Amino acid sequence: MSDFVDRVTVHVKGGDGGNGSAGVRREKYKPLAGPNGGNGGRGGSVIFVADSNANSLLDYRFLPHRSADDGTMGLGDTKDGSQGKDLILPVPVGTVIFEAKGREGEPKHPGKLLADLKHVGEQFVAAAGGAGGLGNAALANKTRRAPGFALLGEPGEERDVILELKSIADVALVGFPSAGKSSLIAAMSAAKPKIADYPFTTLVPNLGVVQAGDTRYTIADVPGLIPGASEGKGLGLQFLRHIERTEIIAHVIDCATLEPDRDPLSDYYALEKELGEYADELELPLGAIPIPERPRIIVLNKADVPEAKELAEFVKPEFEKLDMPVYIISTASHEGLKELNFALAKLVKEMRADLASRQVEEEEERVLIKPLESPRGARLRGQAAEFTIERKQDGNGNYWFAVRGEKPERWVIQTNFDNDEAVGYLADRLARLGVEDELRRQGARPGDEVHIGRGAREVAFDWDPTIAAGAEMLDGSQLGSRGKDLRLEEDTGRTRRRTNAERRRQYHEMMDARAAVREAMMQERAAGHWADPSKDDDRHDTQAILGRGEDIEEIAEEAAEEAVDELEN
């Protein structure tokens, strides 16, 4: 069983963003020092990277589900959560990434082309990580000084992609089964493909590096083709994609075949027919040379057999009439391999220069069309350009309004619906965006059902137009405002921190007041307003403890005599 895999379906998921924190800073002598919740960390992304050390997609067949790390939650003291680590997935150079199409549970087929990794180091972000939620410290401003909520992290992107490997080589060896392609690549390079005397020995493409003077090029050994390969017969359809990236097509023709109705010319025309039908379905990248326009070279193999060499000499002029170079070789005796090697090197050098000039010309002729940028907050027929609202109805007569748009859907995901203040903040954002105005314009009535989001992330609620900007209004005056704390709003009080100038001014005022009181008391004493405290000279004071104008000593003697009499009795 072959361990070469050139097409797999991979399920990738970016890491989820961490939630924001709704913390409050607490310090000595400060009942409320302000919000200090940190932001959540961003989730990691799944990134495919073209790696020269990778040669197959086998790992992704056994492990088709790949996920990046999640971001962590924000903490107090304005500490942001850590970001999730990106997941780097190496793929062979020449890997093409498609969007996977198909129903759930059914085989996927390639859809939109997402990336073409043709050079070492090229990257493609297949699934981006979710953004972290903002903490209440980031949500605070001059009008919302004490947010009691934070935003949730966004989930990472999740989807299926198809990885398809298209070998990148300079020369592609095509031919019928057992034509000697594997023997040729083994004789010209250090590659060790499987060689046997039965058809379809080669089940996987083989790449070999060949050196000719100062020129180095690669040869791809494509599994044997047969008539009908472009329609799925044999192994051709599975491996024809490996000749898409080659610059030169070399027909390896078996001149010693014993099969009836086969000769070098008929083999050539049969293979060219399959290549032409396959080329009609290709969408080549920018600057690529179409398959019918790529140079051909004819390699007549097995010249070590006398009958085969005689046949090769006979058909050589016929191929030369088609304006194609012809080489008679033998992989067994290595006859003609040196001439073939240098001829291919020269042709590869010319094609590389031609391909580079084509790419430059295509880049210069390319016209970039950019959409017109609308100003921020632009309106289109009464609705914001950032969202759309559609009235939907089912077969039972039930209807609802579906709100679609990047911003509303992202805001719904970020909202913690267990927190009333967070829900009100969402209402504020939707109102400022113009969602409520557009619902009213489309005829929405109080109590109508409104849906925001898609799939499992969809949120449904009953629309109440009496709520303006998320907070109830009465006679045009706002009853309350989210994100405010009365202790922070007071201009005076113990919670307000005094400035140094205010402290000095209050200290001097207190000292001046004390000095004024002392001066007034001294003036009263000098004027004789102060009486002897041992005398009670106010006879009109009914609450006096010492009596009305009586001597304290006389009262004390009388009290002592009364006490003695009581003891004697």
**Ligand-binding site membership of 309 (annotated):** no
102 annotated as a binding-site residue: no
Which residue in this structure is represented by tokens 């003036």?
523
**155 assigned to a ligand binding site:** no
Report whether 180 belongs to an annotated binding site. yes
Match 């180091």 to its residue by tokens. Answer: 121
Question: Six-digit token pair at 383?
Answer: 């609705």
CA distance 477 to 160: 52
Contact of 60 with 172, CB cutoff 8 Å: no
| 223 among annotated binding-site residues | yes
CA distance 308 to 183: 16
How far apart are alpha carbons 176 and 222 in whole angstroms? 10
332 among annotated binding-site residues = yes
Residue type, 207: L
| Three-class SS state of 156 | coil
**Total number of residues shown for the chain:** 569
> To the nearest 10°, the Cα dihedral for 227, 231, 233, 238?
110
Annotated ligand binding at 182? The verdict is: yes
E strand residue ranges, 258-398: 296-301, 326-328, 379-380, 383-384, 388-393
In DSSP notation, 553-567 reads HHHHHHHHHHHHHHH
Q: To which residue do tokens 């997402």 refer?
A: 114
Q: Cα-atom radius of gyration of the chain, to the nearest Å?
A: 45
Q: Is 224 annotated as a binding residue?
A: yes
481 is in an annotated binding site: no
Q: Is 204 annotated as a binding residue?
A: yes
Q: Tell me whether residue 417 is annotated as binding.
A: no
- How wide is the angle at C-alpha 247 spanned by C-alphas 313 and 312, nearest 5°? 5
Q: Is 53 annotated as a binding residue?
A: no
User: Any binding-site annotation on 178?
Assistant: yes
Q: CA-CA-CA-CA torsion for 270, 271, 276, 281, nearest 10 degrees?
A: 120
* Residue 124 is labelled as binding a ligand: no
333 is in an annotated binding site: no
Dihedrals phi, psi of 534, to nearest 5 degrees: -80, -10
Tell me whether residue 330 is annotated as binding.
yes
Tell me if 197 is assigned to a ligand binding site.
no
Is 304 assigned to a binding site? Answer: yes
Are the CB atoms for 340 and 189 separated by under 8 Å?
no
Amino acid at residue number 107? P
Q: What is the DSSP string of 365-409?
A: H-----PPPPPTT-EETTEETT-EEEEEE-TTS-EEEEEE-HHHH
CA distance 530 to 512: 24
Is 222 marked within a binding site?
Answer: yes
239 is in an annotated binding site: no
Rounded CA gap, 114 and 160, in Å?
A: 12
Q: Sign of the C-alpha dihedral, residues 321, 263, 329, 294?
A: positive
Residue with tokens 């799925």: 232
Q: How far apart are CA 37 and CA 212, in angstroms?
A: 66
- Is 302 assigned a ligand-binding role in the annotation? yes
* H-only helix segments in 8-160: 58-62, 136-139
Name the binding residues for Mg(2+): 182, 202
Name the binding residues: 175-182, 200-204, 221-224, 301-304, 330-332
Name the binding residues for GTP: 175-182, 200-204, 221-224, 301-304, 330-332
